[in-house]
A = this chain, B = another copy of it.
Amino acid sequence: MAKDVTSREENYSQWYNDLVVKADLAEQSAVRGCMVIKPYGYAIWEKMQRILDAKFKETGAQNAYFPLFIPKSFLSKEAEHVEGFAKECAVVTHHRLKKDPHGKGLIADPDARLEEELVVRPTSETIIWNTYKNWISSWRDLPLMCNQWANVVRWEMRTRLFLRTAEFLWQEGHTAHATSQEAQQEARRMVEVYADFARNYMAMPVIVGHKSPNERFAGALDTLTIEAMMQDGKALQAGTSHFLGQNFAKAFDVQFANKEGKLEYVWATSWGVSTRLMGALIMSHGDDNGLVLPPALAPIQVVMVPIYKSQEELAAVVEKMNVIAEELKAKGISVKIDDRDTLRPGFKFAEWELKGVPVRVAMGPRDLAAGTAELARRDTLTKESVPVDGLPGKIAALLDDIQKNIYDKALAYRNANVRKVDSWEEFKTEIQKGGFLLCHWDGTVETEEKIKEETKATIRCIPIDTYDNEEEGKCIYSGKPSKGRVVFAISY
């Protein structure tokens, strides 16, 4: 191995950290809780951005950009929102540093204290709805659908690269509608965009559902979520879409004249995914050799490693590889020829395995003579000798197959770890084994909180599409009637 990775069995949490750092995805910065996203990690994020951005635009959303700073008074305007977001945030109090008259360093200049403190946005509902007030006056201005790609800051006490960082990158969509129904449809449509992206690009199975009232976004009437299962059986919330009702319209007085000329408050949604998706991607597919990237998101889809002794052999092999690489590029496949002559092939193999490149092609002088190449796939770690003739077509088909196989494998794992549980005793035992438990719940916050207190498990969602939740039964905790099963799990 190029760099040792802790095995999942030995220490899952350390395995994750090893992958993030050793595969050059991200690292801690000098600023507590803030990460540096390294070029290889950022290249994956960029692929995610491009795909999602196109999907958002297909729905009619447009990109815009709103201020980084939010006046602190704005946070107070929506009662629940302030509870959720004012607590841990970065507060800007001064607009100048000056030399400390008593020392050598810099201090915040007392003469440059802001009249009103600014908060670095933890999310942008307040500043955006304050702006929308000026953009909306008539039904003709609706729907208004903006998205922004931005950085946000939430002062988390315990941070983990990608999963929970003080600063993270995300997109946040904010839409305004004339009717409650239209806003609810929008919230549903966007969670489906996220589910489609998770399944078909990240190769990550997800369950779409509603959050329980306790787990909703601060200020939302309904939060839709996609929930994925990591390889340790824990749940990871991978994207959310909120129906905000008229809460923010009322807080910022955003009304529109309807077709009858009557003033009404606007209906809102917001929806977002973040660099947390990187964590989900790593934990969904990685193995003890490193990352396993789905071809749809791999910055390098095919790596070619020449096998040689002399410089002449290297030149001959690379010449052939260049021909194949051009054919692959013409098919829209990204290729890297790793011709570094300071490293042995075995080292390179391990490095590209660590980085999760889906397909590896190795060729040496004997292959050249025989018209063959060694084709290895990252997902199954299998390899075979294949004719060079028709190789680009074979690789294209292989990439499709890998994409599908990664998804199928993750889905099989997920399904094998979803269990129906009908008694509280069984629940307490089963939840410790990890996985998703489908259980009846009486619908009350009290029960939800008791269960969390006793087991750390939370309701991940009330599923919409994946599991039928129309079955009546009795709450596992209280025994009271329930109208359907919900998904319980320990979560990230």
Query: Which residue numbers of A lie inside 8 Å of B, CB to CB?
Result: 27, 29-31, 34-39, 42-43, 45-46, 62-76, 82, 86-98, 104-108, 117-120, 127, 130-131, 134, 140, 146, 150-151, 153, 155, 167, 169, 342
Question: Are B96 and A89 in contact, CB atoms less than 8 angstroms apart?
Answer: yes
How many angstroms between the C-alpha atoms of A206 and B76 in the bound complex? Answer: 48
Residue from A70, A73, A106 whose CB has the most chain B CB atoms within 10 Å: A106
Find A29's partner among B67, B92, B120 (CB 8 Å cutoff).
B67
How many angstroms between the C-alpha atoms of A76 and B75 in the bound complex? Answer: 34
Question: Are A76 and B91 in contact, CB atoms less than 8 angstroms apart?
Answer: no
Q: With CB as the reference atom, state the residue of chain B lying closest to A85.
A: B97
Q: With CB as the reference atom, state the residue of chain B lying closest to A45.
A: B65
Whether A106 touches B69, Cβ cut-off 8 Å, given contacts A31-B118, A155-B95, A342-B140, is no
How many angstroms between the C-alpha atoms of A134 and B72 in the bound complex? Answer: 37
- Across the A-B interface, give the 5 residue pairs with the lowest CB-CB distance, nearest first: A39-B62, A34-B67, A37-B65, A91-B94, A95-B155
How many angstroms between the C-alpha atoms of A31 and B123 in the bound complex? Answer: 16
Give the distance to chain B from A383, nearest Cβ to Cβ, in Å: 29
Residue from A35, A42, A131, A140 whose CB has the most chain B CB atoms within 10 Å: A42
How many angstroms between the C-alpha atoms of A155 and B71 in the bound complex? Answer: 16
Residue from A39, A63, A127 whose CB has the most chain B CB atoms within 10 Å: A39
Whether A97 touches B90, Cβ cut-off 8 Å, given contacts A62-B39, A72-B106, is no
Whether A96 touches B88, Cβ cut-off 8 Å, given contacts A63-B46, A153-B68, is yes
Residue from A30, A71, A118, A146 whose CB has the most chain B CB atoms within 10 Å: A30
Find A95's partner among B38, B43, B88, B140 (CB 8 Å cutoff).
B88
Cβ–Cβ < 8 Å partners of A150 in chain B: 151
Cβ–Cβ < 8 Å partners of A38 in chain B: 64
Question: Are A35 and B67 in contact, CB atoms less than 8 angstroms apart?
Answer: yes
Question: Are A167 and B89 in contact, CB atoms less than 8 angstroms apart?
Answer: no
Cβ–Cβ < 8 Å partners of A106 in chain B: 72-73, 75-76, 82, 86
Question: Are B96 and A94 in contact, CB atoms less than 8 angstroms apart?
Answer: no
Give the distance to chain B from A195, nearest Cβ to Cβ, in Å: 26
Question: Are A91 and B96 in contact, CB atoms less than 8 angstroms apart?
Answer: yes
Cβ–Cβ < 8 Å partners of A42 in chain B: 62-65
Give the distance to chain B from A33, nearest Cβ to Cβ, in Å: 9
How many angstroms between the C-alpha atoms of A436 and B73 in the bound complex? Answer: 47
Give the distance to chain B from A32, nearest Cβ to Cβ, in Å: 9
Question: Are A131 and B29 in contact, CB atoms less than 8 angstroms apart?
Answer: yes
Q: With CB as the reference atom, state the residue of chain B lying closest to A342.
A: B140
Find A131's partner among B36, B43, B119 (CB 8 Å cutoff).
B36
Cβ–Cβ < 8 Å partners of A117 in chain B: 97, 107-108
Find A64's partner among B36, B69, B130 (CB 8 Å cutoff).
B36
How many angstroms between the C-alpha atoms of A86 and B98 in the bound complex? Answer: 7
Give the distance to chain B from A322, nearest Cβ to Cβ, in Å: 18
Question: Are B68 and A34 in contact, CB atoms less than 8 angstroms apart?
Answer: yes
6 A–B contacts from the bound complex (CB under 8 Å): A29-B131, A36-B65, A36-B66, A45-B65, A69-B90, A86-B98
Question: Are B96 and A169 in contact, CB atoms less than 8 angstroms apart?
Answer: no
Question: Are A92 and B120 in contact, CB atoms less than 8 angstroms apart?
Answer: yes
Q: With CB as the reference atom, state the residue of chain B lying closest to A156.
A: B95
Give the distance to chain B from A451, nearest Cβ to Cβ, in Å: 29
Question: Are A92 and B92 in contact, CB atoms less than 8 angstroms apart?
Answer: yes
Q: With CB as the reference atom, state the residue of chain B lying closest to A26.
A: B65
Whether A93 touches B108, Cβ cut-off 8 Å, given contacts A29-B66, A31-B67, A146-B39, is yes
